[in-house]
Chain A
């Protein structure tokens, strides 16, 4: 079966920049630019990196029922989210497993929900299934807009310069309107790399212009175009979950260590009863971080052993460019002693690893 891959408004610019394009979540996206994933990763840690994240779902919720719809589907207490702020949270199934992890932005007259690219259509259907007619309008704006992420210690300086505004005063998870090239853009001080940074939503004409302009100040500030590979290794170093790996329709957020993103005080949301039960009784599995003692690349679904006993499986693994070590996350039996030695079976060979605290690299905000 072949389906037409979606293309971002910035597609042609990626080709011009020499990006290598791959299919991802139904989109054709840059996995890397000529600099390569490791260099791109390090640029974000030390200067600034620019990502096209137009594949992420952008759903606009409007109407008298919008807040109560979000209250019902989200694990966070949305009535506490002030206008002009964004919040990270989960949408859970009744059994407590995960529909998606999302960012919700309170815009006053409407709400903006940012989904994983792979879950855009699923979340849209989920929301529509849980709203009564006429109470909430849900519009999918993903295909008519662009979204960029500028991340890294120099991100604030670069964007302040381009927009001729001091963004240093803006707090993390704040959201505000800006202007670029005579067009309104929406900015949030958010990101998924463990570095300070911004995510920018704009129309599909402004998208490529903004992308090009931000790279144009490369000589001064070192803004590097970055692909999916760097995005994945950056989030892994900080232990941030990726849908389909650390969270999914088979994994609960409590197993993934995301209890902090669940507001149990909120009386009624889908999944609450199951999650409350898990929270009281404990979960059979939990996510651990590990580092290879022997070399070898731990990949998702590699088995984890303690002695001869299989105790879990790897959900994500990679070489950390910051630490220069092979690291990974694994979903293991909750009774696994964090002090014990483990092995990871890579290509039929069990290699020594040790359990280490997550995050591997602490976020810098």
Chain B
């Protein structure tokens, strides 16, 4: 069964890289359970990506200097143990430490997997393509899988599920074959790695902000949000099968970056607060992801030896990009959200003041709305229905409710526009290093 070891290597890469985004839909549950601030809970995501970015290149050198199959197994065992630590974490601090350890083990496993793949596939090019595709699919599918598990079972189940998968991959890994003499690693492909970082920063927005918009903005459950964001990995998978995988990697990467930029641009100008508006932009982003991440990773690895070291650089670039994306986009989004809360409050006030309700009803409704907003969870949009139901069920009151709900939907949706626009610019900025034609190493 030659396919099993290859599958185990793909599973290793997909499993570890899915972890960079798998907890996105679980963050509100984690926030509630550990009672931490919104800024703090984002570290569950950021820390994993930060440690992965920092550990990837040293882990690649380790995989190169020791037996890669042993390094990969050891990495998977550490990853599995840390996943168990995340699931059983009694405090937020333990959860964060476990996430850091998970990233350390994951870095070793992913980089060593790239050292093992060429022998399995008898081709360095195919190895790079399979490694890149597994990583891209894992990252894209992460939020949907995490959301499904969170809603169906609990956020801890995300980490429990990873334990047997990591152990199974460790058992099925192939043995390392004899390697040729170890040549010193050449310089990394700077243009491709910079483009990977920029594209990953923009993809953070696509994954993180779409999920936030669905759950925290529009009030969807993690399960329905997971169903909506499944469009992205599906589009990625279909595009990977249908779109040409031959041709200049730079052209494929440029087309992918343009599609991701276009999808994010469409998200910045959403004309409504309904989930179906997210479908077409996600298809563009998924297709762009399949084209660009694969092509850029291939470009970064093409003709470079040893593969594991250069693979380590691509992991470092991608996850540094994710961290930079989070660091740039979070303050923009937070600031816009506050501005839009004020705008929604002002327009709601105007609607109530100018309505034809009696004075008593206006006062009653106003105080009930304030009560509902203050009593709601910070991770969910306020449920205003009880406030309106309490003062009556006339057509006029229902119309007022619709008008105010419409203003809230507009405010929440518009709060994400600036971040999506900046993310679109980041995706398009990836074209700049790609345009350095003839100078592959800047």
Specify whether A and B are partners.
no
